[in-house]
Structure 1
Amino acid sequence: MTLLPSTDLPTQDLPTTDLSDVHPQARVLAPVFTEYGGRPRFVGAAVTLRVQDHNPLVRAELETPGEGRVLVVDGGGSLNCALLGGLLGELAVENGWAGVIVHGCVRDTAELRRLNLGVRALVPHPRKSGKQVQGERGVPVTFAGVTIQPGDMMYADEDGILVLPAISE
């Protein structure tokens, strides 16, 4: 359970609506994302990627231990292809990721809905991505009106996606 310095409330147990009320400094992503995973509520520290129409970095990250974190993929809002599908979703579950947020497209949505994984994306797309290894990892990403830093805490539920700054210990 994560405790924020300004309150004694356990943030993992609060819906985004309550978190928004308790933490007015919280950043809220514009409501442009659709739920595709089998876990509508998820929380975790952000791991960030910036990629464009190629997903090998997404695969490489999901092959590592997720430890309950959330992979935040800035695909530039591209509607050209999917950056995540059923196979990568299964890989995420096997490796302990809480969720994946894609500023772009996903595919195999019926498969994603059966997984114990939070998945948010703009829209589905049947085309697979390119396989060139390109992009950046561990960089601030900006989309949906919010900048997300690596390590920021991501909270997603049926009411939206909220971001709180990482807590230094």
Structure 2
Amino acid sequence: MTATADLYDDRGEELDSLSLQLQDIGGRTAFDGPVRTIRCHRDNALVKATLATPGDGAVLVVDGGGSLESALVGDLIAASAVEHGWAGIIVHGVIRDREAIGDLPLGVKALGSNPRKSAKDGVGDVDVPVTIAGVVFAPGKHVWADADGVLVER
């Protein structure tokens, strides 16, 4: 994968850069793929269900509204993502089981961690455009992430 800084130098006018500072939590710092999305608040049932389907190298962008109150991804959900071929997960919220997730061959970026689990009611939206810190992540667009940050096609 091309470094995000180099990619921005080459294609900056075609890309948006996420200014939100996310932590690298997964075992892979650099990852990229087509965008899939979920919008949910303190409920990870749709995240679990989606990551249990074939990922085909996609990156799931989860807009949890920036909530730090309960985790949207844990080690079992992340392991399912690896098993189903997802390249990574970007969470505008928190995860849990960060040490176990750090051992997985999966890119995971999030605001941080909280051991509290979330609801499992299935409330939210799947594969809709989500806006995080002013950047639109639309299903099917390409996203790149590494230690320098996150870029997405406009």
Cα deviation for residue 145 of structure 1 reads: 2.4
Contact conserved, 1:69 with 1:98, CA < 8 A, in 2? yes
RCO higher in 1 or 2 (8 Å CA, sep ≥ 6)? 2
Please give the residue correspondences for 1:100-115 in structure 2 after superposition, counting only pairs within 5 Å.
Answer: 100-115=89-104
Aligned twin of 2:108: 119
Structure holding more strand per residue: 2
**Alpha-carbon distance in 1 for matches of 2:12, 2:51:** 32
User: Of residues 138, 144, 150 in structure 2, which corresponds to 1:149?
Assistant: 138
Look up the match of 2:150: 161
Q: 2:74 aligns with which of 82, 85, 100?
A: 85
Alignment partner, residue 19 of structure 1: 7
Deviation track 1:65-88 (CA, whole Å, cap 9, x = no partner) reads: 000000000000011100001000
Normalised TM-score (structure 1) = 0.88
* Aligned partner of 1:45 among 34, 37, 40: 34
Distance 2:66 2:8 in 1: 25
Matched, 1:32 2:21: yes
CA distance in 1, matches of 2:139, 2:75: 25
CA RMSD of aligned residues (A): 0.8
Residue identity in the other structure for 1:135: G
Please list every run of 5 or more consecutive structure 2 residues that lacks an aligned counterpart in the other structure. Answer: none
Corresponding residue for residue 129 of structure 2:
140
Measured in 2, the distance between the counterparts of 1:18 and 1:159 equals: 11
Counting aligned pairs with the same residue, the percent is: 49
The whole-number CA distance in structure 2 between the counterparts of 1:144 and 1:19 is: 21
**CA distance in 2: counterparts of 1:28 and 1:129, whole angstroms:** 29
| Range that drifts further, 68-77 or 27-36 | 27-36
Aligned residues: 153
Larger Rg: 1
SS in 1 for 2:48: helix
SS of the residue 1:24 aligns to: helix
- Partner Cα separation in structure 2 for residue 123 and residue 43 of structure 1: 20
Q: Which runs of 5+ in 1 are unaligned?
A: 1-12
